[in-house]
Amino acid sequence: MASETDSSQSGVLWDYALERYARDGVAECCIALQDEAGANVLLIMVAAYLAERGIRLTGPRVQVLVSGASALQDSLIEPLRALRRASRPQGGEACERQRDTYQSLKQAELVAERWQLAQLEELVLPWNPEQVPTLQLLQRNIRAVAGAAEKTVLDRLVRALSTER
């Protein structure tokens, strides 16, 4: 997830994700989980959002989220991310056109991420809190969507996202 402050078309989940992603250590952990374990950063943000509301991610709920995210993730977000990374300006030799292309692709990726979070928000709105939010619930929810991620990175991310600092 790229960082962006424009929330003109935001939803609650988008605003939550922007605020949490801007916290110290969160972006670095999320990018590491994305690049090293193939984790979907937006699903991690949804998992944390749900945990803070006392909503546990069960197996069926994880399936709903993964299914709800996969179409846009596979067809739009991943290809845009790959193009953006491939066009990243290299040092001082980057021409203005290359920088403009990079920024345009970054904006397109953010729009697609915002769209995906809006779709995921619609899926989770009917889910009711079942327990008191805890650090353990945050850990469980993130592990449920992070896949085979390294435990130390997951633990750092949970600490960075936790409201129990």
Confidence check: pLDDT of 7 > 60:
no
Could you report the per-residue pLDDT of 102-161, keeping only the tens digit for each?
999 999 999 999 999 999 999 999 999 988 888 899 999 999 999 777 888 989 999 999
- Tally of CB atoms within 10 A around 27: 17
Percent of the residues in the chain that have a pLDDT greater than 90, as a whole number: 70
pLDDT, averaged across the chain: 88
> What pLDDT is recorded for position 90?
78
pTM of the model: 0.86
Report how many helices (DSSP H) and strands (DSSP E) the chain contains, helices first.
8, 0
* CA–CA gap between residue 56 and residue 61 (Å, rounded): 9
- Rounded to the nearest angstrom, the gap between the alpha carbon of residue 58 and the centroid of all alpha carbons in its chain is 19
97 versus 56: which is more confidently predicted? 56
Helix 96-124 vs helix 41-52: crossing angle, to nearest 10: 40
> Which sequence spans correspond to the domains of the chain?
12-161
- Identify the CA nearest to 69 among candidates 38, 95, 100, 94: 38
